[in-house]
Structure 1
């Protein structure tokens, strides 16, 4: 699917919000991508998973993503490959496996996430996988907001990184944000 078609699907689902937002990074921006709005629909999710998996090798023992954004995506992509779909969670600020989840040594792992901006959450999941002895084969994301993956926390994994939709959205430091004057305080719709 072309970028514009994917963008339109997100827009139609109400997943692309416009206004004044506070990002997890602390920066401000005029757009927020709320993937929960698109992933709540089995119809849209099926389309996105089908398109995203076309970019992947498909040789995985399991799929894993960070809670909350990566849970639905992990499950649906795992279903596509008929493997287990796991998720990590933060406990006392540290990303880890919980709920009895385990990654077997040598497991070929697909790491997934709904939106990547800095790559921080995905890098934390990668660390969990590698600490358990798993091998990250690919990283798949629905929306890439990174301006340059080579300068992100995922730079060492750039050859394994696959994004369905790439968006170059402006982000402002709070002190230099033109949206503050227009809209006042930013809204923080994210999960952290």
Structure 2
């Protein structure tokens, strides 16, 4: 699947939005990818997961024992990645502000984990979720995501495998261009900034 094929999936789902958006990172953007919309179709979610799994190096795919995703955004693509890789898929969540395993999920000591996200912008959620997996004794061997919005500035101690990389400009609240400053920001994501 090419980058244009991926963007076509987002466009077809009405998931590539334009306007003034406040991102989970606290930064502002004129573009927003609503992954929940692109993943609401099981067929589309499955196609994207198969394409993402195919981008992983073969030797890495062979080592994965389990997929772990951060809730909420990573739930669907994490589940579909588990299906594509034929391994269990679980998630971590933040009931008290810190990622943890719940719902009877467990990670065996030494289990090799693929962390799966929908969109990575700053990597904060990924780093926090990786820390939660390591606290349970698991070893995160890579991070995969549908969309990389880091602009190549992600610093992680594990390999990073995005399906597509996009570099929509983002702005601090005090650096907004006039066209964004003239309209109120919408917060479409699931996390508080």
TM bracket, shorter-chain basis: over 0.9
**Match in the other structure for 1:83:** 87
**Match in the other structure for 2:174:** 175
Instruction: Decide whether the 8 Å contact of 2:53 with 2:85 is kept in 1.
Output: no
Deviation at 1:16? 0.8
Deviation at 1:163? 0.3
Measured in 1, the distance between the counterparts of 2:83 and 2:43 equals 15
**Match in the other structure for 2:162:** 163
Measured in 1, the distance between the counterparts of 2:2 and 2:84 equals 21
CA RMSD of aligned residues (A): 1.2
| TM-score between the two structures when normalised by the length of structure 2 | 0.92
SS of match in other structure, 2:74: helix
* Range with bigger deviation, 129-138 or 33-42: 129-138
Where does structure 1 differ by over 4 angstroms across 4 or more consecutive aligned residues? none
**Match in the other structure for 1:125:** 129
Deviation at 1:81? 2.2
Measured in 2, the distance between the counterparts of 1:181 and 1:140 equals 34
Deviation at 1:180? 3.5
SS of match in other structure, 1:54: helix
Deviation at 1:123? 0.8
Measured in 2, the distance between the counterparts of 1:53 and 1:180 equals 36
Unaligned runs of 5+ in 1: none
Unaligned runs of 5+ in 2: none
